[in-house]
Homo-oligomer: A and B are copies of this chain.
Amino acid sequence: MELIQRIEGFTPKNDPRLLGKAEQLRPVLHYRVAGPMEAFVREETGDRPVSLEELPRRPLGPGDRICLDFGTHMVGRITLSLGSSGSHPDAPALFQVRLAEIRRELEEDPKAYHGWVSRSWIQEETLRVDELPARVDLPRRCAFRFLELEVLDTSPKYRLLLQEVRCVTESSADLSQVTPLSIGDGLLERIDRAGLRTLADCTQEIFEDGPKRDQRLWMGDLRLQALASYASFRSLDLVRRCLYLFAGTRFPDGRISACVFTKPAPEADDTWLLDYSLFFPVALEEYLEERDDPETLEDLYPAAMEQIDLIRARFTDGILPRPEDGEATFVDWCDGLDKRACAQAILLYAARHGRNLARRMGDREREADLTVLTERLEHGARETFWDPEQGFFVSGGQISIASQVWMILAGVLKPEEARDVMERSDAILENFPMQTPYMHHYYVSALLQAGLAEKALAVIRDYWGGMLEAGADTFWEAWDPAHPDGSPYGGLIVNSFCHAWSCTPVYLLRRCFSGSPQAKEAPQES
């Protein structure tokens, strides 16, 4: 599935007042200096360790490579201090720096990548230094654990010395300010720590989806980051800032974009996803549950309601998604999945949050309207997608886990029905296997909603624990244990290995172990 939308002459509608408030909420970044923990040379026969102490005196000539391991995932700016040995350098030093978030990435050949996202994301720089000694600042903020330098050429008269490499890490979340989970369960505690690091590395001047590629604000990621942040760093102002950014630059017809560019200036992407725009009222309501903030409610309430209205207006009879609505819905990086049931469930899910927003606003008329809508959607969902014989939701002839999960999260089933469906769900997992921690988050949420906390924990152990076992320091954008080298983009080398939507064990585990209300997933009648 390639996600490429492009609208000729797209001009977003900006609201300078909302964008001005977003600008005022720009957070302070925390910096920390880090250096490599180990060094080695990759060889066909395995890694050959190199003493870090001797490295500054190790002459590096054409073809020589050295790999530095910073011990864990880093997001920051890298500086190389370079010197020379031998005669006065009589030609520039030409070398390549490759960065890898995980060890496996280094085995990939950048030239072999021919996927559908830009090869410009591959973290590889060819650098030329005319004078030595030199301090070289790599041009971008990087996301990496491993840094490999390969000398392309020096000259017969001198060799390059890699005297120091350091990284000044950046984040607006401070890892030292959060208490990791302490529950006497080693694996879950490790999962929690990796989740916290994932979230911290994605918590920058905005909530980024992932620091390796676009470092950009996506609605689907924001909603999950916000939940995890409420349970840990509590970057409430940053959530608020991101909500203002989404509302402040939109499609001309008022739709909230799937993504907002913030550089050089805030600007809505011309990519729209039905589910992502519906997560705006959801995320706004969840933010307000964390903090009484009438100003934000007042500022952003119209945009939240508009999303629900725009989508119901697209649907047949205001409740049934058409095929193109399913296609405009993300849900997961899963080829061939029919997403109409999900689209309808997510509108219902958003309408429930929207009704709570209306109640907060004291908007009785809207509250009544949304009550009617939720009832119609619930009824329509049962009528159209529920197959009582099979006991599963069926969308376009498919019985997918995604449809079950979203219908349950939307509260279409009674608790005992939901439990029954989720208890039998293993049988359908292979129909359209979940590809991402993002989809797994909603799967675990549905298990919790269905009262299957043990099974939810087992999934967290298996799935997120499986990433740790495969070498994760932070959680990955995509992970299908059956295809560990898979990529939604056509090449593992462009995958993001620290991805916001994968950090949610931070939220899920704290929910499991402190009894956080189910209401966060599906607002109850009140």
A92 at the interface (CB under 8 A from B): yes
B140 to A10, Cβ gap below 8 A?
no
Q: How far is the CA of A86 from the CA of B270 in the complex (A)?
A: 10
Kindly list chain B residues whose C-beta atoms are within 8 Å of the C-beta of A86: 6
Residue among A87, A121, A139, A270 with max Cβ neighbours from chain B (10 Å):
A87
A264 contacts which of B131, B213, B216 (Cβ < 8 Å)? Answer: B131
Name the segment of A149-157, A237-245, A350-358 touching the other chain. Answer: A149-157
A153 to B4, Cβ gap below 8 A?
no
Kindly list chain B residues whose C-beta atoms are within 8 Å of the C-beta of A4: 156-157
A126 at the interface (CB under 8 A from B): yes
B116 to A91, Cβ gap below 8 A?
no
A94 contacts which of B91, B119, B264 (Cβ < 8 Å)? Answer: B119
A57 at the interface (CB under 8 A from B): no
Kindly list chain B residues whose C-beta atoms are within 8 Å of the C-beta of A133: 264
B91 to A120, Cβ gap below 8 A?
yes
The chain B residue with its CB closest to the CB of A130 is: B140
From residue 181 to 240 of chain A, which have CB atoms closer than 8 A to chain B? 213-214, 216
A125 at the interface (CB under 8 A from B): yes
A131 to B263, Cβ gap below 8 A?
yes
A118 to B94, Cβ gap below 8 A?
yes
B270 to A88, Cβ gap below 8 A?
yes
Q: How far is the CA of A116 from the CA of B62 in the complex (A)?
A: 12
A153 to B261, Cβ gap below 8 A?
no
A117 at the interface (CB under 8 A from B): yes
A26 at the interface (CB under 8 A from B): no
A267 at the interface (CB under 8 A from B): yes
A369 at the interface (CB under 8 A from B): no
Q: How far is the CB of A421 from chain B (nearest CB, A)?
A: 38
B125 to A128, Cβ gap below 8 A?
yes
Given A92-B120, A117-B155, A119-B152, 7 new contacts (CB under 8 A): A4-B157, A91-B117, A119-B153, A120-B128, A120-B152, A128-B140, A131-B263
5 tightest A-B contacts by CB? A91-B118, A94-B120, A92-B120, A118-B155, A119-B153
Show the binding face of A for B, using Cβ within 8 Å.
Answer: 4, 6-7, 10, 86-88, 90-94, 116-121, 125-126, 128, 130-131, 133, 139-140, 152-157, 213-214, 216, 261, 263-264, 267, 269-270
A-B contact pairs, 21 of them (CB 8 A): A4-B157, A6-B156, A6-B157, A87-B269, A87-B270, A90-B214, A91-B117, A91-B118, A91-B121, A91-B214, A92-B118, A92-B120, A92-B121, A93-B120, A94-B120, A118-B153, A120-B128, A120-B152, A120-B153, A126-B126, A131-B264
